[in-house]
Amino acid sequence: MKVLIVDDEVIIRNGLSTVIKWSDYGFTMLPPAASAEEALQRIPDEMPDIIFTDIRMTGISGLDMAHEVKQQFPGIEIIVISGFDEFTYAQQAMREGVRDYLLKTSRPGEIVQAALKVKDRLEKRRQSQAQGKAQEMVVNRGFLRRLLASGVSPDEQAQEEFKERFPDLRMDEGQGQLQVWMLSIRLPEHSGDGSPGGDLLGLIGGCLAESVPCAWLEWSGMLLVLTRVEEPGALSRMDAAIRKVQPSTGYQIISASGEPVSRLGELPRALDTAVQASSYMWLLGGEQSIRYADIGKRKGIRTVCSVEEESELSSLLRSGSRARLEAWVAELFERIRSSKEATPGSAEAYLNSLLVAAQRWLERAAASIGYTKPLQQQDALNIRELNSRPDELLFQALERIMKQYGEMSAATSPVQRAVEYIHEHLGLSLSLQQVARHVHMNPNYFSEMFKKETGQNYIEFVTQAKLRKAMILLKETPAKVSEIANDVGYEDIKYFNRLFKKFTGQTPSEYRTSSEFCPSID
């Protein structure tokens, strides 16, 4: 707590400054002032908490100075220490807001006691003010939360209440704009998992409020900051304030700013665009600051994986290589993030299409070998989870599928694995020797075991498997018969037609017609 002594007598002011060990009582002694004029000039910069002043001085009197100080800085406490023991002076001093009236003949202990009484009063007052302000801020944040959560433009009454509660954010006469910022606070990657609590969010919000006019509150695990933008350059003011706060937290702060609005009635749009910008945090992983203006016109990427990608993924999962899977996921995300059109929604849908394709592959593999144990289903990825650890989430989901396939393969016979391999490669002309090599068996022994377990010889099994797949394609796709024949490994369409009719009793065209094929809408 800072103390300033004002007296035109050098002996008095220096004596009061040095005789008493002010630091022992929790005070910091400012250099004494030789006049009221000097004190009035220094007070706005040095902001003392307590002023000891004489009354009669050259120039402005101590009481006149007290009057002016109380007008400009009512929180400063003033104690008169005078050589005149007159009731009139004391009475006037009290009218000017002076807290105590001492004589210069007072002992050091009496002076210290007077200062300690004022100090105690100041601390209680400030504590009470802080509590009142904290309660007011809680109420104000509650009002702002309700205003934003409603999703509708505030009515006239709400707009007037907003102006009263947040005077620094007023936009009278069309001056300035309001903008919503969403701040995600996370530990650096090398620090491991961790998320900030409300205390840290509040600390950051309070620090930002000291640098820029704003209101803040916790919002869906992030810090929402509503700030006033005076001119385009104010954007950099907010960025600068965030950069200033970040080192003291030990956390990484990623910011997303919405579209500035010129009317309080447009506040829902300000919030919506900020939330949209914040959803890009995982997609633009290298960006510290994301602006809606930079991403608002993106159109999105394709949302369904291709047949080639599905085939590549199934081959990768079948390999059982964790390192290859990890590298594949990293390359996939690099490709998505490098797209100038990628949006969180389209990327989320695309990633989930890969997950669905992998799950369907696993189910087909299980069915082809007669595996009856229940398979673990993978939950769909969602935007909120992707915002925190997208690469890790996809990798973990695909790794679980890979492990299930490995466990399933280990629990099945070589013939069952051969059957699954055949179903995965029906478009190729696989010889018995190739399949036997895949399951590490002697071809002759494999042929015997294959017929024993399936009830069919190798050629009969493969032919029927190809024809069953053709039946599915004829029912579920609009592909030409010749294309379907090629898909299941037959280049000679006439030969394919003969085999198909012998197996089903109908030509491919007749089968498609009888199945009442209806192409799906893309």
pLDDT tens string 199-250? 888 889 888 888 888 999 999 889 999 998 876 555 578 888 888 888 877 7
User: Which of 223, 184, 219, 221 lies closest to 201 in space, CA to CA?
Assistant: 223
pLDDT (average), residues 175-180: 87
Provide the 3-class DSSP secondary structure of residue 239.
Answer: helix
Q: Are 345 and 336 in contact (CB under 8 A)?
A: no
Q: Where are the alpha helices (DSSP H) in 425-478?
A: 432-438, 443-454, 458-476
Specify the range with the lowest mean pLDDT, choosing from 97-106, 297-306, 351-360. 97-106
Question: How confident is the model at residue 89, as a pLDDT?
Answer: 64
Assigned architecture for domain 150-293? 2-Layer Sandwich (3.30)
**CA angle (113, 117, 123) in 5-degree steps:** 140
Q: Where are the domains of the chain?
A: 2-124, 150-293, 307-412, 437-514
pLDDT (average), residues 92-115: 81
Is 90 exceeded by the pLDDT of residue 382?
no
pLDDT (average), residues 317-342: 92
Confidence of residue 88 (pLDDT cuts 50, 70, 90): low
pLDDT (average), residues 278-284: 88
Confidence of residue 281 (pLDDT cuts 50, 70, 90): confident
Q: What is the 3-state secondary structure (H, E, C) of 495-515?
A: HHHHHHHHHHCCCHHHHHHHC
Is 70 exceeded by the pLDDT of residue 430?
yes
Is 50 exceeded by the pLDDT of residue 518?
no
Question: How confident is the model at residue 268, as a pLDDT?
Answer: 92
Question: How confident is the model at residue 191, as a pLDDT?
Answer: 45
Q: For the chain, what is the mean pLDDT?
A: 85
Is 90 exceeded by the pLDDT of residue 63?
no
Question: How confident is the model at residue 176, as a pLDDT?
Answer: 81
Which helix (H) or strand (E) segment holds residue 182: the answer is strand 177-186
Q: State how far the Cα of 131 lies from the Cα of 140, in Å rounded to an integer.
A: 14
Q: State how far the Cα of 5 lies from the Cα of 29, in Å rounded to an integer.
A: 8
Q: State how far the Cα of 239 lies from the Cα of 284, in Å rounded to an integer.
A: 17
Confidence of residue 520 (pLDDT cuts 50, 70, 90): very low
Amino acid at 202: G
Percentage of residues of the chain with pLDDT beyond 90: 37
Provide the 3-class DSSP secondary structure of residue 53.
Answer: strand
**What is the pTM (predicted TM-score) of this model?**
0.60
CATH 3.90.1150.10 assigned to 437-514: no
First to last CA, the chain: 74
Amino acid at 407: E
Confidence of residue 300 (pLDDT cuts 50, 70, 90): very high
Q: Are 333 and 393 in contact (CB under 8 A)?
A: no
Q: Are 381 and 351 in contact (CB under 8 A)?
A: yes
Is 90 exceeded by the pLDDT of residue 192?
no
Top pLDDT among 40 and 517 is at 40
Question: Looking up tokens 């505030």, which residue turns up?
Answer: 154
In 93-220, DSSP assigns E strands to 100-103, 177-186, 214-219
pLDDT (average), residues 66-80: 88
What confidence tens digit (pLDDT) does each residue in 27-52 have? 999 999 999 999 999 999 999 999 99
Query: Torsion over CA of 389, 391, 397 and 403, rounded to 10 degrees?
Result: -130
* 355 C-beta neighbours (distance < 10 Å), count: 21
Amino acid at 451: K
In 188-246, DSSP assigns E strands to 214-219, 222-229
CATH topology of domain 2-124: Rossmann fold (3.40.50)
